[in-house]
Structure 1
Amino acid sequence: MTLLSTLPNEIQDEITRLSERYGQPLIRSIDLGENKYFDPLDKTDRYGEVCMVVRRRNGRLLTMIKTFYPQGAYRLLTGGINHGEYVFDALLRETQEETGLEVEVKQFLAIASYHLEKSDTPVFYTFAFLLDEVSGTLGAIDEDEQVEAFREIEISELPTLAQNLEALGSSKEEFIYWRWSDWGQFRAPIHQLVWEALTTQK
């Protein structure tokens, strides 16, 4: 089984086209360990997400934190891909909803496929793209996203961001039924993978 074989044929075909247009992405399989379902892995309305690596005009990358995240848990922006929706359509839609910016797609950076312990079948995908800011005013349009703040970072800071996410402790919030440590270990790898793609690929 290939890492992308569980995706619908039309999405596999789209990924081929996007790779030809925006560059061959790094592809990695991420082992999440024991059976643990949490947001967004437990959502049935999506098969994966886009990771929007927005490069601002000053060359720095955009990260954000939501109102209910642990203190300091900034990360790259992501947005769900609905069933029946193409990756590229979700990329443009989610970027507009979460940033309010007009962007130009520059590079297909990476694909992460996630699987659980004792299974090679992916349960979720992240597709990461480098996007250059073109115009607009930064600000989340979709209030349901609960974005608290944005922060810009250098590319060199991505590994540190990954380490911070991986080191998150457990949450004591009653409305969170999963551990922040599990969530952080899920979120960390794409930051490392994006850093690798940005610093090694030409």
Structure 2
Amino acid sequence: MKRTRREAEETRENILAVAEKLFLEHGVEGVALEVIAQAAGITRGAIQWHFQNKSGLLHALRDRMESPIGQLAERLQVDETVDSLGSLISETIVVISHIQLDPRRKQFCAYLLNFSLLGEPERQRAFERRLRASVVKVFEVAAQRGELSEHWTPELAGLAYCGLVLGLLEQWLRGEDQFDIAHDVSAVLRRFGASLSPTHHAQARRAAR
């Protein structure tokens, strides 16, 4: 049974990888499930078993954007050498930079955003809640390690962090060109991260005296 579940997961990941590649190359509208199935070496029924339809496949690709943060939250639970806030910011910057470097990926992400907001907004909200939950777990570890200022709870820090990232990313995907998504947003996140540390607040109190 374990082997069957593992094989099913491997098939699912293969479908997602093949579908993403084809969508980037030909656009979402230009790729049918039959084309994905043929490229993946499986049947259309196998895709429908995993994702039901093309919409389910697109939502699954959108959900994968949360994976690096979720995996980081899991690593922090077992590895005390991993930098909590620094890794969170670095992982976020990697994802954002990856989108900026490939115009096709930017177009695809913009499509996913509009598709989710217009087609099934509740699933978009569910994705955002899962992302925020993963970020909050990272801040919980930071708080346990004494790396989060007492002025912030993990929940408030997670809410503010996700608001910054998702808000700026959405603006950029909708065509805002007055800031650089990788350079400027990276600077914003690093400054925000620094403002959360106990050291920052101690320095601010000394400066105010």
- Normalised by the length of structure 1, the TM-score is 0.23
Name the larger-Rg structure: 2
Q: Which has the higher contact order (CA 8 A, sep 6+)?
A: 1
- Normalised by the length of structure 2, the TM-score is 0.22
